[in-house]
Amino acid sequence: MMKYLLSRPFALLLLALIWTVPVQADGPPAWSLQGENNTVWLLGSIHLLREQDYPLPEKVEHLWSGTEVLVLEVNLDELDPMAMNRILAQHGRLPAETTLVDILDETTLERTREIVNELGLPEDQALQLRPWLLTTMLTVQAIEKAGYQSGLGLDMHLYQRAREAGREIRGLESTEDQLRPLYELEREMEVRYLRHTLEDIENIEQQVPEMVRAWRENDHAALETLLIDSFAEFPELSDAALATRNRAWVPQIIAMLEDERDYLVVVGSAHLVGPDNVIELLREQGYEAEAF
């Protein structure tokens, strides 16, 4: 559940390598890469925040003021609602004449109905969704019920400022790239993922503020505990949703170092910690990432 805040939509997952350099405790996780003529900054994002979480830490303002190109996981200027609807229609719904009544055990089904109704979602429509999509919807709905909004998330905030300032905006991947690790899950894994969320969802009001605090204060120990504890049961999912995407991003980030402009790359914080994180992969390629 916590991954949604720190890694994309959806949310997942510090191993030894990131402890080899000191990090600042004032502000979210950030690293710098030096090109011959420019700097590329990597900034860990959190995707839902509250009004009271503003103003942002000075570290964020410093990075924002010193860069010319904003790079997000997805370029929000290129989002296609029709394409998204096609993806969800094709991969997010159960086959015709099938509902979750047919695939969930009685206990999980009863709990699903209970949470769906508590969160104010239409039960008939919810039961027609594949478990991965319903899990995502329940997670987002619970986080928003706790007072957090995607429109106030760091990436959305910086995107809006970039548009107002006329800065170039780029994306590292498409929305389908983000959703594919979820819709390609095997059915048994989907159901386990849903069941795990149903068991965990009652803790959302305590977990989310702690996650935001850990992000804001760059508390690596807390981030490690929250992320690994939440997704240790789903190594295949965390590999697909994090490590695989990280490996696809690294060549793009390296290419930015050949430019003369300074870049601010904003990705979910879970992509900057854990096994095969972006920082670790860059170091494996011989690039020196310095904590900021």
Number of domains in the chain: 1
Within a domain: 291: no
Q: Is the pLDDT of residue 20 over 70?
A: no
Within a domain: 131: yes
Q: Is the pLDDT of residue 16 over 60?
A: no
pLDDT given for residue 194 in this prediction: 95
For the stretch 68-113, pLDDT in tens is 999 999 999 998 889 889 999 999 999 999 999 999 999 999 999 9
- Chain-centroid distance of CA 254 in Å reads 21
Within a domain: 121: yes
pLDDT given for residue 236 in this prediction: 83
Over range 174-198, report the average pLDDT: 92
Q: What confidence tier does 229 reach under pLDDT thresholds 50, 70, 90?
A: low
Within a domain: 286: no
For the stretch 249-275, pLDDT in tens is 999 999 999 999 999 999 998 888 878
Higher pLDDT, residue 281 or 243: 281
Q: What is the pTM of this model?
A: 0.88
Within a domain: 289: no
Within a domain: 221: yes
Domain that holds residue 149: 3-260
pLDDT given for residue 4 in this prediction: 43
Q: Is the pLDDT of residue 240 over 90?
A: no
| 3-class SS string, 41-110 | EEEEECCCECHHHCCCCHHHHHHHHCCCEEEECCCHHHCCHHHHHHHHHHHCECCCCCCHHHCCCHHHHH
Output b/e per residue, 224-245; b: 16+ Cβ within 10 A: bebbbebbeebeebbbbbbbeb
Within a domain: 279: no
Within a domain: 228: yes
Q: Is the pLDDT of residue 46 over 80?
A: yes
